[in-house]
Amino acid sequence: MADVTAPGSEQPTLNRVIGPALLLLFVVGDILGTGVYALTGKVANEVGGAVWLPFLLAFLVALLTAFSYLELVTKYPRAAGAALYTHKAFGVHFLTFMVTFAVMCSGLTSASSASKAFAGNFGKAFDLSLGDGFVLTAVALGFITLVGLINFRGVGESVKANVVLTCVELTGLLIVIGVGAWALGGGNGDLSRLTEFNTPPGESVWLSVTAGTALAFFAMVGFEDSVNMAEETRDPVRIFPRVMLTGLCVTGLIYVLVAISAVALVAPADLGSGDTPLLKVVQAGAPGFPLWVFAFITMFAVANSALINMMMASRLLYGMANERVLPKVLGLVHRRRRTPWVGIVFTTLIAFGLIWFADLAALGGTTALLLLCVFTVVNVACLVLRRDRVDHDHFRAPTVIPVLGAVACAFLASPLSGRAGADYRVAGVLLLIGVVLWAITYATNRLVPGAVSRT
């Protein structure tokens, strides 16, 4: 397939170096990421021993939306993902900009959270006393700088780093599953907890499960990031369907097995206290296991999340700059490295600000909320764009799947799911900032004839 460039552009195209194996590791590594290492306990707080059920339901909702993404990425194999599909389906500059902003915020927030988590695990792994947190912040800033440099050097280097980090984080989860199987095989643990629900008085089991699913969904996001690498994939139309579905199924199975091992070895109340639930599982199932090793694994797992999310955010800016939804300068590609260097610098600077000023502990739910809203729009866009014909064969999802995906995502994003009110307050502030940025961008584009297009 020929490389895709922006109409009238004389700058070099992105480098197509990603094959099926690298793309699969990208998908798996992005989904596994930081979420499962920290969220298992929080989901247990919502539902009790049946912690596996929200992860299973979150996987099914993600699978529905993945079918819509597959139809769209094979139909339009270009960078920018959800923002591009929204732009083509509705042609409303404001809506496209807000989708772009929401996706970018989710990636940068996740990367910044991962940087802080990396710094915290760095301190634990080396048993350091890091004072009042200034050194932690310095480590986080240094780490995100390193991620930016890897991202700038080239997509080949970035995906190779992703291969190593994905193998490390996958090893950590397999250790948890293996420890669970070994302990249960030896007569330890309590499988009866798997059917117990921790439902507060006056609250239904259904509401507890949906609230847990809305939270667990944060651990399933990441598959959508891979579509932003479409212009750096060798044959996206052929490769994406089988790779994305395989990656989702692999991670879904791992999540369920991790959840079962966790709750069988550690009581839900204990699992839900603190920020290192899987460390407690390893400690309970294999007391002799060197916990510093698992701290290192966790550190590299969150490093992978930061790398992938920063890659996604910079490619998103590149793609939408070429669509003229964002200023053209954000789409500039370095002639020698063939990476979107302005987008990389811009997103790294924003991450600096988030790390330095923001308390990211409460933003996980908000990130999931924003992405669920984006996924609702993508599922609808998939149906709207059925009227747009292209001159090549592409994946096509059964019509009922985008419909179910839109309904499920909208429900999990709504107050009916039991989502915390704080999520809506934080999301409201972020979207208000987005509105201000849209006004600035729109006013700037109006000065250039034809700057706002619907290509």
* Alpha helices (H) in 267-399, listed in sequence order: 268-271, 277-285, 291-322, 341-357, 363-384
Q: Is position 1 within any domain?
A: no
**What gap in Å lies between CA 65 and CA 255, rounded to an integer?**
18
**178 pLDDT higher than 90:** yes
pLDDT of 215: 81
pLDDT digits 0-9 by tens, 279-306: 888 888 888 888 778 878 878 777 777 8
Q: Is position 10 within any domain?
A: no
**CB-based contact 239:19 (threshold 8 Å):** yes
The band of 262, judged by pLDDT with boundaries at 50, 70 and 90, is very high
State whether the Cα torsion 208-210-215-219 is positive or negative: positive
Q: Is position 248 within any domain?
A: yes
pLDDT digits 0-9 by tens, 66-75: 999 999 988 9
pTM of the model: 0.79
Domain count, the chain: 1
**CB-based contact 179:289 (threshold 8 Å):** yes
Q: Is position 334 within any domain?
A: yes
Q: Is position 3 within any domain?
A: no
366: tokens are: 């908000």
Q: Is position 227 within any domain?
A: yes
**What gap in Å lies between CA 303 and CA 195, rounded to an integer?**
34
pLDDT of 110: 80
pLDDT of 54: 93
Closest listed residue to residue 401, CA positions, set 54, 70, 57: 70
**83 pLDDT higher than 90:** no
Where residue 354 sits, what CATH number does that domain have?
A: 1.20.1740.10
Name the residue with higher pLDDT: 8 or 84. Answer: 84
The band of 448, judged by pLDDT with boundaries at 50, 70 and 90, is low
CA separation (Å) from 52 to 22, 264, 359?
Answer: 29, 11, 29
Closest listed residue to residue 363, CA positions, set 420, 443, 402: 420
The dihedral over CA atoms of 365, 368, 370, 372, expressed in degrees to the nearest 10, equals -140
DSSP 233: B
Query: What percentage of the chain exceeds 70 in pLDDT?
Result: 85
Span 80-91, mean pLDDT?
85
Helices 155-185 and 35-47, axial angle in degrees (round to 10): 40
Q: Is position 102 within any domain?
A: yes
**CB-based contact 227:246 (threshold 8 Å):** no
Helices 236-265 and 52-75, axial angle in degrees (round to 10): 170
pLDDT digits 0-9 by tens, 186-237: 888 889 899 888 876 667 788 889 888 888 888 888 788 777 677 777 877 8
401 CB contacts (<8 Å, ≥6 apart)?
64, 67, 68
pLDDT of 202: 67
321: tokens are: 């700059």
**CB-based contact 268:49 (threshold 8 Å):** yes
**What gap in Å lies between CA 156 and CA 209, rounded to an integer?**
41
Span 311-334, mean pLDDT?
78
Domain that holds residue 331: 20-446
Q: Is position 13 within any domain?
A: no
Amino acid at site 221: V
